[in-house]
Amino acid sequence: MPNLFSQAPVQLPGMTGFYRGKVRDVYFLEDNRLLMVASDRISAFDVVLPAAIPHKGEVLNRTAAYFLEATRDLVPNWWLSSPHPRVSYGYRAEPVPVEMVVRGYVSGHAWRCYRDGARSLCGVPLPEGLRESDPLDRPILTPTTKASEGHDQDISREQILEQGLVSEAHYQTMEQYALALFERGTQMARDRGLILVDTKYEFGLMDGQILLMDEVHTPDSSRYFYADTYHELQAKGQAQQQLSKEFVRQWLIANGFQGLTGQSIPTMTPDWIQQISDRYQHLYHQLTGQRLEESGTVHVGLEPTDWVEDFLNFQQNLR
């Protein structure tokens, strides 16, 4: 497999720094702005898998832009424009080292903890008798630390404040914003025949104010069920049809990988890579009602740089 991290960053005018995340490349620019490039890399269990997924970057960027635009009346966010299908441009904020995870159902990580005996998650009590994918009485906040390397860790509200990761006033704002975003996301998902199961939000500080950062309600940050089959499958005790990256995690688990020391990532065949790509494109259409333009280009090795000319033209028009 190619080394997906071997490519040097593009040198852009006004560039003051660069950061490569698991799936995004971030270019820091003058005037407190940044450029976020969504790559075709895919991660699971906090590990970047050794294969690029065609069109994934475009799906992530377009989906995030769609929801950032649709929620800016609720919460101030960083996004200003998308000069290219895989690129977003906006404000730079100082990240708060906490991810706000909102859950409306017991699924994924929450279910695995519950199945193994936990009756509290991030300090939030959970009732007895829940089954996988059951709804909660109300959405709950289960924050995690935002780790620069390795695994994020569950953390309670009390621990966040005790450790001084964020002030109480700012944390209260983050709670309010996260729950409001989840309610809006739930409404928008319902309109598309979906159930928003859980999701995460990241926030930062700019001029002393909390700002929504990164992606919102994308397949990498959120889990969705199909509404029309939910009740029937739940009544039969069968697995829910999911519209999320969970199918990749389940494939890894079935093949003996959960990101633990000593485990090897299973081989990703061309057919499996194409299946993942198809699922991402279907998800984009299901969420937004839109389709990707057929570019005919499949990126297998190095990340494409076809966005550079579009951004340079965009940057020139800003001056």
What is the reported pLDDT for 317?
84
For the chain, the straight-line distance linking the first and the last C-alpha, in angstroms and rounded, comes to 42
Domain assignment present for 303: no
Bridge partners for 94 per DSSP: 205
Query: If you count DSSP H runs as helices and E runs as strands, how many of each does the chain have, helices first?
Result: 8, 15
Strand pairing report for 94-105 and 144-145: antiparallel
pLDDT tens, residue by residue, 90-103: 999 999 999 999 99
The CATH code of the domain that includes 132 is 3.30.470.20
pLDDT tens, residue by residue, 105-119: 999 999 999 999 999
Please tell me whether residue 289 adopts helix, strand or coil conformation: coil
H or E stretch covering 101? strand 94-105
Domain assignment present for 88: no
What is the reported pLDDT for 211?
97
pTM across the whole model: 0.87
Q: What's phi and psi for 110, nearest 5 deg?
A: -60, -40
Domain assignment present for 187: yes
Asked whether the predicted pLDDT for residue 299 surpasses 70, the reply is: no
Residue 56 to residues 49, 263, 309: CA-CA distances in angstroms? 13, 25, 20
* pLDDT tier for residue 3 given thresholds of 50, 70 and 90: low
Full domain range(s) for residue 235:
95-248
What is the reported pLDDT for 220?
83
Q: What is the mean pLDDT of residues 220-239?
A: 94
Q: What is the CA radius of gyration of the chain?
A: 19
Q: What is the mean pLDDT of residues 279-284?
A: 89
* Distance separating alpha carbons of residues 112 and 56, to the nearest angstrom: 27
* Distance separating alpha carbons of residues 50 and 272, to the nearest angstrom: 13
* Distance separating alpha carbons of residues 261 and 190, to the nearest angstrom: 40
User: Structurally, how many domains does the chain consist of?
Assistant: 1
Domain assignment present for 7: no
What's CA 42's distance to the chain center, in Å?
A: 11
Domain assignment present for 283: no
Domain assignment present for 207: yes
Domain assignment present for 52: no
pLDDT tens, residue by residue, 126-147: 999 999 999 999 999 999 998 6
What's CA 30's distance to the chain center, in Å?
A: 26
Quote the DSSP letter at residue 77: B
Q: Please provide the average confidence, as pLDDT, over all residues in the chain.
A: 90
